[in-house]
A and B are shown apart, each in its own frame.
Chain A
């Protein structure tokens, strides 16, 4: 002891030893150091310290032989960590283990396969949604002109029709101006009628965006009116071939259009999926009233794109845009309107003419869900591998005893993880092939199985494979290889350090938490969807068929109604601008003037006839219903919300009040007040609404059937009658009908998709988590075979043993429940804020999902626990 405590004072300088370790032969470095320390101590006794130090340093310097460093000692072989033989051995052992425990391998492979399939599909989807329009060669210069209403703080993708001309004359920064108008029309080709989306554009379109011509390059021809350009798909659809230049199609039964060229089909990732391009000047021939220099009111289906000069930034356009407002709209509009340009790459994330847009937060949520499902599968692997540590302990012990180092063992276990992941990846490819068409269909994404084999996806799969292997494999490999050989060989009965167990429990809790959050969300979303279906809209949407009206002359409509009502199945028919609730609406500012005070209200206009209330089942609270003669005297119905806005409390008081259209002198008189009904989808508030008889604006007929829940036959009979009558009234027009309840359900398409996505994810997450749980239950039942045998011999009942085995897992569900409920509550609160009308979050939803999860877990575990508990103790005690 004394020797030791004296030691530091008598120590030689440190640096020579360090030098020695660095440069001397590593095999003998240790003993040299020791020997010299010993000698140094001796030299100190016989001589001065300086002398001892000098001798010490001298000896070390003599013994440094940098070139001896790499000499291999002859007498023992240092194993190369990754020789081919070793790698072959790793694979052999990995295969053996795979086949030895088939159950666990199955759980691991299938879980990981589902997880990877999810990740791959979601990657494909995100890749698709984020690659829109990026292929355009002039993408850096293409922008869309958008209109911002400062009061509403809302930016609209469309703009005034006058904008195109204004840009051409007043904005030299725009190299090209591309106005695009999208309408729906009836196309007659080869004696057949088609309802199509038709796009009006000029030749600038082809100079700004990339198009590939199959026949013709009719840039000049396209500036003429009455020319049309088709895509390959549509040329084949109409004429059965692409050699169609010079042939004609007829638009809206009014105008013949000559085919001037055929374009190659567009890629699926374009916001401009136009099949029928009609030359811009044709507009005047089809619709003579269409004002191409309009500056009051715009429509989102007219959009203007500009090709800016190179190096021009969007900020530089603010000045010219303000100039345009002053010149065309007047100085007073500067405070109210603003124009700005949005880059082409951003238009897929807002309203665009392609009709497909992506929701960024939805994509993020999806990616998160995909990651979570994959993570749950990885956790299964981690849990099952560490749970089997006991089984592998002897192997690890012997490997270490005969000279394997830790690194080698880590490689071995990683090989096993890699093999399982690779198998899973192969299965996931097969799964993706099956699931992709289903997903593409359900989510309305134009993805095909060919997209699975693009280089991006192959790269992603490769990275995914490596990441999954590491994610799933590193922790078990570290754990298993870290076992002390003595412990591993001596006994397997003692549990290793307690933290193993809690790590596994932690992972199970995470799995359950994710599953529980998803279950709660699924329940809640479904309840919200159910609410959409069953909510009281203030009108009756069932048993209503809607058809379009190509012509709305009063005499014609009068006759049509008479004919329609002849059918015993039809109770009433109403002609109107749109249905009681519709996606596209007519908004107008009105004024209510009480003395000096003027109240402005932005109001939704419903143009409808006297049958409207009856057909849609809207209740009249006060006053009289409309009559068809109200066209002349401007008598209107209003809803309760409008009364609230203009400050009238009782409906009866409103009768006879005047509402002015805008700030002019034209006014309408309130004739009656109707009960509130949802004029918009349930996402939005009920707008103040006016119902007025304006036959010019009747574009749709709503037909109420006699029976609230009509049988298929009566619907067929009614439809037959409607089609016959309609076709007789409007020959050469395409008859199309829809059911109002189905049309309204369209508004909730996004939510329905979210619901089906969450449901699928929930199902997969729960499935994978349960497979893992099953594996663990199997394992713990195996482990405790003897214990259970002894307990049974001592008189334990089956029930007590089952509860003994299940208790642990239920505890985990409880913890997960506590963690998951607040998360689910928060996520769902965010989601519900999207809707003006929504259900209340109820505590029982969380409890129900907790109970559901507990039941599922219990059921999974009980397969094993009941079996273990019923096992004959004689047999279980004889195990080993």
Chain B
């Protein structure tokens, strides 16, 4: 099986897009990431990550309608593709496998 490769930040962005559902666009994703992770996230980084995810086929995008806000410029909305969902599931699976492989003693050490 071909291994899906998702970088850490890519994974976070992809997940955030999935969480935001219909409302995932550059600003909302940046905002959500900042809220959830508590770290300062550069918009430019998010933007390029979204572009890269789209190139890899994890997300698809469409232009929204023009509104009076933000100087009439349209938003580009992102949705996770089936391929993206599969990738997320795989990543999650890998994590869960790894977690479940932890010895109880090690689990204890991590405090959970």
What residues of B have a CB within 8 angstroms of the CB of A41 in the complex? 70
SS of A interface (majority): helix
Contacting B76 at CB < 8 Å: which of A28, A62, A63, A74?
A28
A65 — nearest CB in chain B belongs to which residue? B48
What residues of A have a CB within 8 angstroms of the CB of B76 in the complex? 28, 31
Q: Which of B15-23, B39-47, B99-107 contacts A (4 or more CB under 8 A)?
A: B39-47
Given A28-B51, A63-B47, is A35 in contact with B74 using a C-beta cutoff of 8 Å? no
Query: How does the 8 Å CB contact mask read for A162-202 relative to B, with 1 for contact and 0 for none?
Result: 00000000000000000000000000000000000000000
A313 to B31, CA, bound (A): 87
A3 to B71, CA, bound (A): 11
Interface residues of B in 57-102 (CB under 8 A from A): 63, 68-71, 73-76
Contacting B74 at CB < 8 Å: which of A30, A58, A62?
A30
Whether A39 pairs with B43 at a CB distance below 8 angstroms is yes
Whether B42 pairs with A37 at a CB distance below 8 angstroms is no
Contacting B44 at CB < 8 Å: which of A31, A34, A42, A63?
A63
Does A152 lie at the interface of the complex (its beta carbon under 8 Å from any beta carbon of B)? no
B40 — nearest CB in chain A belongs to which residue? A55
Interface residues of A in 259-283 (CB under 8 A from B): none
Does A332 lie at the interface of the complex (its beta carbon under 8 Å from any beta carbon of B)? no
Given A30-B73, A34-B74, is A39 in contact with B44 using a C-beta cutoff of 8 Å? no
A665 to B19, CA, bound (A): 130
Whether B70 pairs with A37 at a CB distance below 8 angstroms is yes
A35 to B42, CA, bound (A): 12
Whether B43 pairs with A36 at a CB distance below 8 angstroms is yes
Given A28-B76, A62-B42, is A34 in contact with B71 using a C-beta cutoff of 8 Å? yes
A59 to B70, CA, bound (A): 17
Minimum Cβ distance to chain B for residue A81 (Å): 23
Does A4 lie at the interface of the complex (its beta carbon under 8 Å from any beta carbon of B)? yes
Minimum Cβ distance to chain B for residue A4 (Å): 6
A562 to B24, CA, bound (A): 125
Whether B73 pairs with A33 at a CB distance below 8 angstroms is yes
What residues of A have a CB within 8 angstroms of the CB of B68 in the complex? 4
What residues of A have a CB within 8 angstroms of the CB of B63 in the complex? 30-31
Minimum Cβ distance to chain A for residue B6 (Å): 20
Does A315 lie at the interface of the complex (its beta carbon under 8 Å from any beta carbon of B)? no
Whether B71 pairs with A32 at a CB distance below 8 angstroms is no
Whether B75 pairs with A31 at a CB distance below 8 angstroms is yes
Minimum Cβ distance to chain B for residue A30 (Å): 5
Interface residues of A in 321-367 (CB under 8 A from B): none
Contacting B26 at CB < 8 Å: which of A31, A42, A58?
A31
Minimum Cβ distance to chain A for residue B57 (Å): 10
A33 to B75, CA, bound (A): 9
Given A38-B27, A39-B27, A39-B30, is A31 in contact with B74 using a C-beta cutoff of 8 Å? yes
Whether A35 pairs with B47 at a CB distance below 8 angstroms is yes
Whether B73 pairs with A31 at a CB distance below 8 angstroms is yes
Whether B44 pairs with A35 at a CB distance below 8 angstroms is no
What residues of B have a CB within 8 angstroms of the CB of A74 in the complex? 55
Minimum Cβ distance to chain B for residue A606 (Å): 94
Minimum Cβ distance to chain B for residue A864 (Å): 49
Minimum Cβ distance to chain A for residue B34 (Å): 10
Minimum Cβ distance to chain A for residue B54 (Å): 9
A59 to B73, CA, bound (A): 17
A39 to B69, CA, bound (A): 12
Query: How does the 8 Å CB contact mask read for A37-66 relative to B, with 1 for contact and 0 for none?
Result: 111011000000000000000110011000
Minimum Cβ distance to chain A for residue B50 (Å): 9
Whether B42 pairs with A32 at a CB distance below 8 angstroms is no
Whether B42 pairs with A34 at a CB distance below 8 angstroms is no
What residues of A have a CB within 8 angstroms of the CB of B44 in the complex? 58-59, 62-63
A42 to B26, CA, bound (A): 13
Given A28-B51, A34-B71, is A59 in contact with B42 using a C-beta cutoff of 8 Å? yes
Interface residues of A in 5-34 (CB under 8 A from B): 7, 28, 30-34
Whether B75 pairs with A35 at a CB distance below 8 angstroms is yes
A41 to B73, CA, bound (A): 14
Whether A35 pairs with B51 at a CB distance below 8 angstroms is no
B63 — nearest CB in chain A belongs to which residue? A31
Minimum Cβ distance to chain B for residue A511 (Å): 47
What residues of B have a CB within 8 angstroms of the CB of A59 in the complex? 42-44
Minimum Cβ distance to chain A for residue B45 (Å): 8
Q: Which of A32, A35, A39, A42 is the most central at the interface, judged by chain B CB atoms within 10 Å of its CB?
A: A35
Minimum Cβ distance to chain B for residue A175 (Å): 81
Minimum Cβ distance to chain B for residue A712 (Å): 92
What residues of B have a CB within 8 angstroms of the CB of A31 in the complex? 25-26, 63, 73-76
What residues of B have a CB within 8 angstroms of the CB of A38 in the complex? 27, 69-70
What residues of B have a CB within 8 angstroms of the CB of A37 in the complex? 70-71, 73
What residues of A have a CB within 8 angstroms of the CB of B71 in the complex? 7, 33-34, 37
Query: How does the 8 Å CB contact mask read for A472-505 relative to B, with 1 for contact and 0 for none?
Result: 0000000000000000000000000000000000
A62 — nearest CB in chain B belongs to which residue? B44
What residues of B have a CB within 8 angstroms of the CB of A35 in the complex? 25-27, 43, 47, 70, 75
A37 to B51, CA, bound (A): 19
A847 to B63, CA, bound (A): 67
Whether B43 pairs with A34 at a CB distance below 8 angstroms is no
Minimum Cβ distance to chain B for residue A39 (Å): 6
Whether A32 pairs with B70 at a CB distance below 8 angstroms is no
What residues of B have a CB within 8 angstroms of the CB of A62 in the complex? 42, 44
A37 to B43, CA, bound (A): 12
A39 to B47, CA, bound (A): 13
Q: List 22 A-B contacts (CB under 8 A).
A: A28-B47, A28-B51, A30-B74, A31-B63, A31-B73, A31-B74, A33-B73, A34-B70, A34-B74, A35-B27, A35-B43, A35-B70, A36-B43, A37-B71, A37-B73, A38-B70, A39-B30, A41-B70, A42-B31, A58-B44, A59-B43, A63-B48
A residues adjacent to B (C-beta < 8 A)? 3-4, 7, 28, 30-39, 41-42, 58-59, 62-63, 74
If A4-B68, A34-B71 are given as contacts, then 14 extra A-B residue pairs at C-beta distance below 8 Å, sorted by A number, are A30-B63, A30-B73, A30-B74, A31-B73, A33-B71, A34-B74, A34-B75, A35-B25, A35-B27, A35-B47, A38-B69, A41-B70, A62-B42, A74-B55
Report the 8 A-B pairs with minimum CB-CB distance, sorted nearest first.
A34-B73, A35-B26, A62-B44, A31-B76, A34-B70, A37-B70, A59-B44, A38-B27
